[in-house]
Amino acid sequence: MLSRALTESDLRPLPSRATELLTTLNAPPRLAAHLRAVHDVAWQLADWCADRLALDRAAVLFGAATHDIGKVMHTEELSGPGHRHELAGRDLLLAQGIEPELARFAASHALWTAPGITAEELVVSLADKIWKAKRVPDLEQLIVARLGGEPWAAFMALDDELTRIAADADRRLAFQASYPI
Protein backbone atom coordinates (compact mmCIF):
# COMPACT_ATOMS: atom_id res chain seq x y z
CA MET A 1 0.00 0.00 0.00
CA LEU A 2 2.84 2.43 0.76
CA SER A 3 4.30 1.91 -2.69
CA ARG A 4 0.91 2.65 -4.27
CA ALA A 5 0.47 5.80 -2.21
CA LEU A 6 3.89 6.97 -3.37
CA THR A 7 3.36 6.22 -7.06
CA GLU A 8 -0.31 6.15 -8.06
CA SER A 9 -2.47 9.14 -9.04
CA ASP A 10 -1.71 12.18 -11.11
CA LEU A 11 -0.25 14.03 -8.13
CA ARG A 12 3.37 14.95 -8.68
CA PRO A 13 5.85 12.46 -7.25
CA LEU A 14 7.73 13.38 -4.11
CA PRO A 15 11.43 14.20 -4.31
CA SER A 16 13.34 10.92 -4.42
CA ARG A 17 15.03 11.63 -1.10
CA ALA A 18 11.62 11.99 0.59
CA THR A 19 10.34 8.80 -1.06
CA GLU A 20 13.41 6.92 0.19
CA LEU A 21 12.87 8.22 3.73
CA LEU A 22 9.22 7.22 3.78
CA THR A 23 10.08 3.78 2.43
CA THR A 24 12.94 3.28 4.90
CA LEU A 25 10.69 4.33 7.79
CA ASN A 26 7.81 2.15 6.53
CA ALA A 27 5.51 5.15 6.74
CA PRO A 28 1.77 4.61 6.96
CA PRO A 29 0.21 4.77 3.48
CA ARG A 30 -2.18 7.53 4.61
CA LEU A 31 0.80 9.69 5.58
CA ALA A 32 2.46 9.16 2.20
CA ALA A 33 -0.79 10.09 0.44
CA HIS A 34 -1.13 13.23 2.57
CA LEU A 35 2.45 14.27 1.87
CA ARG A 36 1.88 13.78 -1.87
CA ALA A 37 -1.21 15.98 -1.78
CA VAL A 38 0.52 18.78 0.15
CA HIS A 39 3.63 18.50 -2.03
CA ASP A 40 1.53 18.80 -5.18
CA VAL A 41 -0.09 21.97 -3.85
CA ALA A 42 3.31 23.35 -2.76
CA TRP A 43 4.50 22.78 -6.33
CA GLN A 44 1.57 24.83 -7.63
CA LEU A 45 2.22 27.60 -5.10
CA ALA A 46 5.93 27.66 -5.92
CA ASP A 47 5.05 27.99 -9.62
CA TRP A 48 2.69 30.86 -8.84
CA CYS A 49 5.29 32.57 -6.62
CA ALA A 50 8.10 32.25 -9.18
CA ASP A 51 7.78 35.82 -10.50
CA ARG A 52 6.45 37.29 -7.26
CA LEU A 53 8.61 36.05 -4.41
CA ALA A 54 12.19 34.80 -4.14
CA LEU A 55 11.98 31.20 -2.91
CA ASP A 56 14.27 28.23 -2.59
CA ARG A 57 11.94 26.00 -4.61
CA ALA A 58 13.78 22.76 -3.77
CA ALA A 59 13.51 23.53 -0.04
CA VAL A 60 9.77 24.27 -0.34
CA LEU A 61 9.15 21.00 -2.19
CA PHE A 62 11.23 18.90 0.20
CA GLY A 63 9.65 20.65 3.18
CA ALA A 64 6.15 19.95 1.89
CA ALA A 65 7.10 16.33 1.17
CA THR A 66 8.32 15.74 4.74
CA HIS A 67 6.52 18.27 6.93
CA ASP A 68 4.45 15.61 8.76
CA ILE A 69 7.07 12.83 8.80
CA GLY A 70 6.92 12.83 12.61
CA LYS A 71 3.53 11.15 12.28
CA VAL A 72 5.48 7.96 11.58
CA MET A 73 6.06 8.00 15.34
CA HIS A 74 2.73 9.59 16.32
CA THR A 75 0.24 7.76 14.12
CA GLU A 76 -2.67 8.86 16.31
CA GLU A 77 -2.13 12.33 14.81
CA LEU A 78 -2.94 10.98 11.33
CA SER A 79 -6.62 10.94 12.27
CA GLY A 80 -6.75 13.37 15.18
CA PRO A 81 -5.27 16.59 16.47
CA GLY A 82 -1.84 16.92 17.96
CA HIS A 83 1.50 18.61 17.70
CA ARG A 84 3.88 15.98 19.03
CA HIS A 85 4.80 15.02 15.46
CA GLU A 86 6.33 18.43 14.75
CA LEU A 87 9.49 18.35 16.88
CA ALA A 88 9.62 14.56 16.56
CA GLY A 89 9.64 14.96 12.78
CA ARG A 90 12.47 17.47 12.82
CA ASP A 91 14.51 15.23 15.12
CA LEU A 92 13.76 12.19 12.97
CA LEU A 93 14.91 13.99 9.82
CA LEU A 94 18.09 15.17 11.53
CA ALA A 95 18.78 11.61 12.72
CA GLN A 96 18.36 10.43 9.11
CA GLY A 97 21.07 12.88 7.99
CA ILE A 98 18.80 15.58 6.59
CA GLU A 99 20.25 19.07 6.77
CA PRO A 100 18.80 21.34 9.48
CA GLU A 101 17.64 23.89 6.88
CA LEU A 102 15.42 21.17 5.37
CA ALA A 103 14.43 19.42 8.61
CA ARG A 104 13.09 22.72 10.00
CA PHE A 105 9.84 22.44 8.01
CA ALA A 106 8.69 19.49 10.12
CA ALA A 107 8.83 21.67 13.23
CA SER A 108 7.73 24.99 11.74
CA HIS A 109 4.77 24.16 9.49
CA ALA A 110 2.28 25.11 12.22
CA LEU A 111 4.25 28.07 13.60
CA TRP A 112 3.88 30.64 10.86
CA THR A 113 3.92 33.57 13.32
CA ALA A 114 7.23 32.54 14.92
CA PRO A 115 10.07 35.06 14.75
CA GLY A 116 12.39 34.52 11.80
CA ILE A 117 9.96 32.40 9.79
CA THR A 118 11.03 32.27 6.15
CA ALA A 119 9.00 32.71 2.99
CA GLU A 120 9.65 29.03 2.26
CA GLU A 121 8.16 28.01 5.60
CA LEU A 122 5.11 30.19 4.97
CA VAL A 123 4.53 28.55 1.59
CA VAL A 124 4.77 25.06 3.11
CA SER A 125 2.34 26.12 5.87
CA LEU A 126 -0.04 27.52 3.28
CA ALA A 127 0.15 24.34 1.16
CA ASP A 128 -0.62 22.30 4.29
CA LYS A 129 -3.86 24.26 4.68
CA ILE A 130 -5.09 24.95 1.16
CA TRP A 131 -4.66 21.33 -0.06
CA LYS A 132 -7.97 20.65 1.71
CA ALA A 133 -9.43 24.09 0.89
CA LYS A 134 -8.87 25.46 4.41
CA ARG A 135 -8.38 29.22 4.35
CA VAL A 136 -6.36 30.86 7.14
CA PRO A 137 -6.54 34.64 6.80
CA ASP A 138 -3.63 35.40 9.16
CA LEU A 139 -1.33 33.05 7.25
CA GLU A 140 -2.48 34.44 3.90
CA GLN A 141 -1.80 37.99 5.12
CA LEU A 142 1.78 37.01 5.98
CA ILE A 143 2.25 35.80 2.41
CA VAL A 144 0.66 38.98 1.01
CA ALA A 145 3.09 41.08 3.07
CA ARG A 146 6.02 39.16 1.55
CA LEU A 147 4.73 39.61 -1.99
CA GLY A 148 5.25 43.36 -1.88
CA GLY A 149 3.64 45.88 -4.18
CA GLU A 150 0.13 47.14 -3.66
CA PRO A 151 -1.30 45.03 -0.80
CA TRP A 152 -4.82 44.89 -2.23
CA ALA A 153 -3.57 43.70 -5.63
CA ALA A 154 -1.31 41.11 -3.97
CA PHE A 155 -4.21 39.90 -1.84
CA MET A 156 -6.53 39.57 -4.85
CA ALA A 157 -3.93 37.68 -6.88
CA LEU A 158 -3.23 35.27 -4.01
CA ASP A 159 -6.95 34.85 -3.34
CA ASP A 160 -7.54 33.93 -6.98
CA GLU A 161 -4.75 31.34 -6.89
CA LEU A 162 -5.91 29.81 -3.61
CA THR A 163 -9.48 29.63 -4.89
CA ARG A 164 -8.21 27.81 -7.99
CA ILE A 165 -6.18 25.33 -5.94
CA ALA A 166 -8.96 24.79 -3.39
CA ALA A 167 -11.39 23.84 -6.16
CA ASP A 168 -9.56 20.50 -6.47
CA ALA A 169 -9.53 19.73 -2.74
CA ASP A 170 -12.16 16.99 -2.93
CA ARG A 171 -9.98 14.96 -5.29
CA ARG A 172 -6.97 15.31 -2.99
CA LEU A 173 -9.03 14.45 0.10
CA ALA A 174 -10.43 11.35 -1.63
CA PHE A 175 -6.90 10.27 -2.61
CA GLN A 176 -5.69 10.57 0.98
CA ALA A 177 -8.77 8.84 2.42
CA SER A 178 -8.31 5.87 0.07
CA TYR A 179 -5.25 4.76 2.06
CA PRO A 180 -5.25 3.18 5.52
CA ILE A 181 -3.66 4.78 8.53
d(CA 105, CA 114): 13
How many domains is the chain partitioned into structurally?
1
Amino acid at the residue 15:
P
CATH number of the domain residue 160 falls in: 1.10.3210
- The predicted pLDDT at position 148 comes to 87
Rounded average pLDDT over 72-83 = 93
pLDDT of residue 146: 95
Question: What pLDDT does 69 receive?
Answer: 98
For residues 25 and 98, what is the distance between their CA atoms, to the nearest angstrom?
14
Question: For 10-38, what is the mean pLDDT?
Answer: 97
% of the chain beyond a pLDDT of 90: 96
Mean pLDDT of the chain: 96
Task: Write out pLDDT tens, residues 38-47.
Answer: 999 999 999 9
How does pLDDT run across 113-149, given as a tens digit for each residue?
A: 899 999 999 999 999 999 999 999 999 999 999 998 8
Q: How far apart are CA 66 and CA 31, in angstroms?
A: 10
Mean local confidence (pLDDT), 162-177: 98
The pLDDT of 31-35, averaged and rounded, is 98
Cα-Cα end-to-end distance for the chain: 10
Kindly report, residue by residue over 46-74, the tens digit of the pLDDT.
Answer: 999 999 999 999 999 999 999 999 999 99
pLDDT > 90? residue 103: yes
- Our measurement of the distance from residue 67's CA atom to the centroid of its chain's CA atoms, rounded to an integer in Å, reads 6
Q: 135: domain range?
A: 2-177
